[in-house]
Amino acid sequence: MNEPRETSHGMAASQHDGQTTAGKEAGAMLRFENVSKAFGEKQVLSDVSFAVPPGEALCILGRSGMGKSVTLKLSIALLRPDQGKIWVCGDNIASLEGAELSKVRRKIGFLFQDAALFDSLSLYNNLALPLRRLSNKSWPEVEEAVHRTLQQVGLENDGQRMPVELSGGMRKRAGLARALVLEPKVLLVDEPNSGLDRITASEIDELLLKQKTERKTTLMIVTHDIHGARRVGDTFAVLEHGRFVAYGTAKEVEQSQSETARKLISERY
C-alpha cells in the first residue's frame, strides 16, 4: 500500500466530543481529511475527518438522511466532496479521474443497500462482468473465481438464476459476492441488514466478519442494526447534522455526551 502523499495532520476522527486517537491513521486504509459536502442549501457533511486502519471495521450510525450513505459514496468517488481529501489505499480518490480512478476503485468493493444487481444479467454474469473486464483471468479462471465467491456466500447452486428470482437475503449475499469477487482491500457496505430477518441478517454479519478476520479486509459499514454493528465493528461513529457527534469503541460511544449516540449504540429509543 502506498503511504498518503501528504503529511497526515488530522486525527482518527474529528468533532466528536473532543476525543482524538491521533497517529492511528498513519497507515490508514481509508481516511477522510476535512471533508465537506453539500447538496444545494443542505450541508450533508461538514469538515469531517476520520481514519480506518487496515483490517478494521468502522460502523457509521445515525438517523436517516444524516449523510451516512453519502460518506460511502464519497469513499469510492461516486460523489465528489466540495472540499477535503479522501485517501483510499494511499491515493486521494477525490482528485482522481479516468484510468487512475479505475485503478483505485478496483481495490474497493461496494455492497449497495438493495444489492444493485444488474437485472439483465444472471447471477453468474453479475460476478463475471468485473472479472472479465478488470482481470487478466482466462475464461476457466473467471468461472473458477465466480464459483469460489458464490460458494463463500452460499449461492454456488444459484449462478444461473436472474436477480429477480432471488429472495431479499439471497440478493444481499449476491451483492456481497459481487463486491468481493475482485478481492478488494476495502469493503464499503450500505445497510447490510435492512429488510432482512434476524437470522438472515446474522448470516450476512458472519460473512462480513469473515472478510475482516480471515482476509483482513478493511470495512466501512453504514447500518441501523446495532446488533450486527457490535458484532462486526471495531470503531463506531455517530453522524448527526453533518458531523460526528461520537467516535470510538462501543464503550466510548456509550459514554459519549451525545444523547443520540448513546441511544443509537444501546438501541434505546
Partner 1 sequence: MHIEDEFSSRSNNLPRCGCIFNGNSARVWLPCCGGLVLRGLGGLDGDSVLACKGPRWRLASYLFEGELLKKSLEALGAMSLFGLRVITSAFSPPFEMAQLREQLIAAGAESWLLVFASGISLGTVMSFHTRSSLVTFGATAMIPSVQADAFFVEIGPLVAALLLAGRVGSGIGAVLANMRATEQIDAIESLSVDSFKFLVVPRVLACVIALPILTLLMDFCGLFGGFLSEHFNSHISLSLYFVRAFDDLGWSNFIPPVLKTTVFGFIIGAVSSYFGYTTNEGANGVGRAATNSVVLSSLLIILADVILIRCIFFVFPDSAI
- Work out whether 119 is an interface residue with partner 1 (CB under 8 A): yes
Give the residue, chosen from 27, 90, 130, 168, that forms a contact with partner 1 under the rule CB under 8 A.
130
Give the residue, chosen from 38, 134, 162, 250, that forms a contact with partner 1 under the rule CB under 8 A.
134
- Rounded Cα distance between 269 and 263, Å, is 6
Minimum Å distance from CB 180 to partner 1? 12
Q: Which is nearer to partner 1, 108 or 204 (CB)?
A: 108
Q: Which is nearer to partner 1, 45 or 117 (CB)?
A: 117
Q: Which is nearer to partner 1, 32 or 112 (CB)?
A: 112
Minimum Å distance from CB 223 to partner 1? 17
Q: Which is nearer to partner 1, 132 or 216 (CB)?
A: 132
Minimum Å distance from CB 242 to partner 1? 21
Q: Cβ distance 29 to 54 under 8 Å?
A: yes
Tell me the window of 43-51, 53-61, 117-125, 261-269 that interacts with partner 1 (CB under 8 A). 117-125
- Rounded Cα distance between 202 and 227, Å, is 9
Minimum Å distance from CB 147 to partner 1? 19
The answer for 250, left when phi > 0, alpha when psi is -120 to 50, beta otherwise, is: alpha
Q: Which is nearer to partner 1, 96 or 250 (CB)?
A: 96
* 3-state secondary structure (DSSP) of residue 31: strand
Q: Cβ distance 96 to 104 under 8 Å?
A: yes
φ and ψ of 102, to 5 deg = -60, -40
* Binding residues among 175-234 for partner 1 as defined by CB under 8 A: 178, 182
Q: Which is nearer to partner 1, 132 or 198 (CB)?
A: 132
- Rounded Cα distance between 57 and 209, Å, is 9
* Binding residues among 62-101 for partner 1 as defined by CB under 8 A: 73, 76, 78, 101
Lookup result for grid cell 473532543: 18
Q: Cβ distance 240 to 43 under 8 Å?
A: no
Instruction: Please tell me the count of residues contacting partner 1 according to CB under 8 A.
Output: 24
- Rounded Cα distance between 28 and 25, Å, is 5
What single string gives the DSSP state of each residue in 157-196?
T-TTS-GGGS-HHHHHHHHHHHHHTT--SEEEEE-TTTT-
C-alpha cell at 171: 440478493
- Rounded Cα distance between 49 and 31, Å, is 7
* Binding residues among 95-114 for partner 1 as defined by CB under 8 A: 101-103, 105-106, 108, 110, 112-114
Tell me the window of 10-18, 118-126, 192-200, 213-221 that interacts with partner 1 (CB under 8 A). 118-126
Give the residue, chosen from 28, 58, 74, 117, that forms a contact with partner 1 under the rule CB under 8 A.
117
Q: In the complex, which residues of this chain contact partner 1 (CB under 8 A)?
A: 73, 76, 78, 101-103, 105-106, 108, 110, 112-114, 116-120, 129-130, 133-134, 178, 182
